[in-house]
Amino acid sequence: MDEDVLTTLKILIIGESGVGKSSLLLRFTDDTFDPELAATIGVDFKVKTISVDGNKAKLAIWDTAGQERFRTLTPSYYRGAQGVILVYDVTRRDTFVKLDNWLNELETYCTRNDIVNMLVGNKIDKENREVDRNEGLKFARKHSMLFIEASAKTCDGVQCAFEELVEKIIQTPGLWESENQNKGVKLTHREEGPGGGACGGYCSML
């Protein structure tokens, strides 16, 4: 079954506690919304295979807890991730203000710099919006991230967010194929040196 999977990608979801990270993930993997979802302890993990542009990719998604005290546990999961989804709650400005901290953490713990980042403004179904769409857009542009607004409750933008992210990862050269790269691609090595009189040998006069 895994035969036709192009690659396995590691995706990380981060953001302040209660912004709806686990809900977004649940919506994406199981297409449900569970208001009874407990606050995440440490990290949680889900798998889903999706196909983008005819390429099947298996996603291993790590959902981290937003609580301050758990954060010391999570840096390990930044390692080797190819994509990061950074979530804030459009109805709580403080979760938007804290984004800078999260980016700092990303910078500190990510092992590579070509990783694809996506900013998601969640809970747009709610009425008491505190963060304007344009603010989100501006922030994403400033930090070269993908941006989308979504609602785990109504399903808006969720599928699209993940697909977009995966597509971008697949388009980034060297980000995902690295493990298989060695099989097909041959490094062009230096031309065989002056062939010591063989017919192919280039030489200077003497």
Interface positions with another protein (CB under 8 A): 16-18, 29, 35-47, 60, 62, 67-70, 72-73, 75-77, 79, 92, 109, 111-112, 174, 178, 182, 187, 196-206
In the bound state with another protein, the residue whose beta carbon lies nearer, of 22 and 140, is: 22
Residue listed under structure tokens 């998601």: 120
**Which residue's CB is nearer to Mg ion, number 13 or number 165?**
13
From the list 51-59, 100-108, 119-127, 177-185, the region that binds ligand GTP by CB under 6 A is 119-127
Q: In the bound complex, what is the minimum distance in angstroms from residue 36's beta carbon to another protein?
A: 5
Please select the residue that binds ligand GTP; options are 30, 31, 32, 39, rule is CB under 6 A. 39
- What burial class does residue 12 get, using C-beta atoms within 10 Å of its C-beta: 0-12 exposed, 13-18 middle, 19+ buried? buried
* Distance (Å, whole) CA 44 – CA 61: 8
Do residues 14 and 117 touch, judged by C-beta distance below 8 A? no
Are 40 and 58 spatial neighbours (Cβ–Cβ below 8 Å)?
A: no
Phi, psi dihedral angles at 64 (to 5 degrees) = -100, 155
In the complex, what is the shortest distance from the CB of residue 53 to another protein, in angstroms, rounded to a whole number?
A: 25
User: Which residue stretch of 59-67, 93-101, 138-146, 164-172 sits at the interface with ligand GTP (rule: CB under 6 A)?
Assistant: 59-67
7 contacts ligand GTP (rule: CB under 6 A): no
Q: Please identify, using beta-carbon distances, which residue of 42 and 80 lies nearer to Mg ion.
A: 42
DSSP 124: T
- How many residues form the binding site for ligand GTP (CB under 6 A)? 21
Q: Are 118 and 83 in contact (CB under 8 A)?
A: yes
Q: What is the rounded distance in angstroms from the CA atom of residue 66 to the CA atom of residue 95?
A: 10
